[in-house]
Chains A and B, each alone.
Chain A
């Protein structure tokens, strides 16, 4: 893919132009993180649950071939039609063909990050089919012609006044009304009409059980159920890593998912789709799109354990202050930054650097993905492959020379302190990235080495 966007740091700069808005974004997500903590602390066996979830997913990674075959066999026995897509293009083509067979021009879709990853909506629009996103947050960003900025909270970057304006323009609500209750009621009415009219519904999948061939879809709004139960054709799109071995494993994952995501004990609806309803078609599209390749990367395969709760985003100091759109990928935040380079190392070379490596993401991850370790490892892979920017590579090279030669390091330190004291404008200006949003510290008179020599000898 051609690079037609700015890199993370530049996009974050745009987001940071409005300081009070960044503070609001930061605080809102931190509040969600705190709700997650309260939920986690109320379960004494929380850490054991995380460990069990991680090990179940590890078992899936090591047996994915057989589980996929088992799932397919059971799903077919249940009456579903199973499709396999090697990449996004094939996934989109399969969905388009199903829609064309039904002759529909408009249909409903509930939340599916996979279809975002595959850019299904624009593809279908090119073929004259309009997708109505039915998750409220997704509908809002769709009306605003934006991608979701968060996998669980798609319009977390939007103020209610902006949503009120969007609804005024598209749904005819009174101008100036920004009451969340009123706007939600308006969306409910608007989308009920779509549910009733729609003959095809696309849903995502949270968990697919190999043992039973069933799929579990979790929502708070009930939009997946409204769409799927009223449609003649239900198309469920899933990445192959959504598999879990047995039904009883749902007990572990459903305990972790909503608590980690939004600090709720469970989502309102955890729907188990096994057989199509009478007279209905159920299609399941199994999508690889780079996942089998990631499975072969020893350092990065654990990223496939992800259950898409978004906890790593809510806790990330960089995500909270740079916003989801700065990651220019369907999945933002720490998890997006370790998944994206597998899809396109050059295009997403900036993302593993959009982190402080503080490790908070790994600490909250319900399936114990070593996210911050992988961010660090991706940096090394990307640099080795030559995908870092020339200025960064040159800076690192210079630092390497200085830091590996004690004499040079000492001289450079002395010169640096002298320059900062004598000509502070050299560092205190917009050209120096460290000066942005910061005052530079006062330069010390002597180096630590000099101080140590004086005081310890």
Chain B
């Protein structure tokens, strides 16, 4: 067992304790700017639609995606007629999902990140394994910075959660940006006003 030896060496070698810095100056009071949020998401390769009701999602989906065979919608109202009973299994049942429409808890205006947790998506791999991802977020839930986001989120309540900012991407081949590495090839964000 190396635990005791490692801890003893650390205790012996660690420098004098120094207090943590105060982070309160970093947060910004008030809501985040939806226009700034939209701009960043677009710069990351995502597309953003401002809508006033869930009913507007279906025509936009029909217009922008062709050949959708399997669609998972977390709320029935997002897309009536989407797949049902997709939750059963170890995640591999979602291998052929073309589009997943999920809710986001909050968005961050400074970097386009959207907070998604296990309690909404139910199956952890869903937003990653789907070919295309759409996230629905309330414009009132857009915050200015990451500091404000963590302040709002507070202590963890689920086993898994993630910030998702744009579609999956890579620039590993000669720094050429390519969307669609291993996760979703595209990201659409619906901002409900």
Interface residues of A, Cβ cutoff 8 Å to B: 28, 31-32, 45, 48-49, 51-52, 55-56, 58-59, 61-65, 68-69, 78, 84-86, 90, 134-137, 140, 153-156, 158-160, 163, 180-181, 183-185, 187-188, 191-192, 195-196, 212, 214, 220-223, 225-226, 229-230, 232, 240, 245, 247-252, 254-255, 262, 264-277, 279, 286, 288, 292-293, 295-296, 298, 301
Determine how close the nearest CB of chain B comes to the CB of A68; give it in whole angstroms: 7
B interface residues, how many (CB within 8 angstroms): 71
Chain B 149-190 per-residue mask, 1 if CB under 8 angstroms from chain A, else 0: 111010110111111111111111111101011111000000
Chain B 4-26 per-residue mask, 1 if CB under 8 angstroms from chain A, else 0: 01110111111111111101011
B163 and A254 form a contact (CB under 8 A): yes
Given contacts A268-B44, A268-B165, A276-B159, contact A225 B125 (CB under 8 A): yes
Name the segment of B52-60, B61-69, B70-78, B90-98 touching the other chain: B90-98
Which residues of chain A are within 8 angstroms of B170 by Cβ–Cβ distance? 136-137, 184, 220-221
Given contacts A62-B18, A63-B17, A223-B181, contact A265 B151 (CB under 8 A): no
Give Cα A286 to B7, complex, Å: 11
Majority secondary structure, B binding face: loop
Q: A214-B156, A222-B168, A247-B153 are in contact. List 10 more A-B contacts (CB 8 A).
A: A64-B14, A136-B170, A136-B173, A180-B178, A220-B168, A225-B162, A252-B146, A268-B44, A268-B168, A272-B160
Which residues of chain B are within 8 angstroms of A267 by Cβ–Cβ distance? 165
B163 and A56 form a contact (CB under 8 A): no
Determine how close the nearest CB of chain B comes to the CB of A288; give it in whole angstroms: 5
Give Cα A279 to B153, complex, Å: 27
Give Cα A250 to B174, complex, Å: 30
Give Cα A238 to B53, complex, Å: 45
A270 and B14 form a contact (CB under 8 A): no
Given contacts A84-B1, A212-B156, contact A222 B26 (CB under 8 A): no
Taking a contact as CB atoms closer than 8 A, the residue among A32, A214, A292 that contacts B6 in the complex is A292
B175 and A270 form a contact (CB under 8 A): no
Give Cα A269 to B129, complex, Å: 13
Interface residues of B, Cβ cutoff 8 Å to A: 1-3, 5-7, 9-21, 23, 25-26, 40, 44, 90-92, 95, 108, 110-113, 124-125, 128-129, 145-147, 149-151, 153, 155-156, 158-176, 178, 180-184
Give Cα A134 to B44, complex, Å: 22
B20 and A184 form a contact (CB under 8 A): no
What would be 18 A-B contacts, judged by CB atoms less than 8 Å apart?
A: A28-B174, A56-B21, A63-B17, A158-B173, A158-B174, A160-B176, A181-B178, A184-B170, A188-B180, A226-B128, A255-B145, A265-B165, A266-B146, A270-B163, A272-B160, A275-B159, A279-B90, A295-B14
Determine how close the nearest CB of chain A comes to the CB of B86; give it in whole angstroms: 15
B159 and A78 form a contact (CB under 8 A): yes
A64 and B10 form a contact (CB under 8 A): yes
A288 and B174 form a contact (CB under 8 A): no
Taking a contact as CB atoms closer than 8 A, the residue among B18, B20, B182 that contacts A222 in the complex is B182
Determine how close the nearest CB of chain A comes to the CB of B113; give it in whole angstroms: 5
Give Cα A251 to B153, complex, Å: 11
B160 and A155 form a contact (CB under 8 A): no
Taking a contact as CB atoms closer than 8 A, the residue among B111, B129, B155, B171 that contacts A262 in the complex is B171
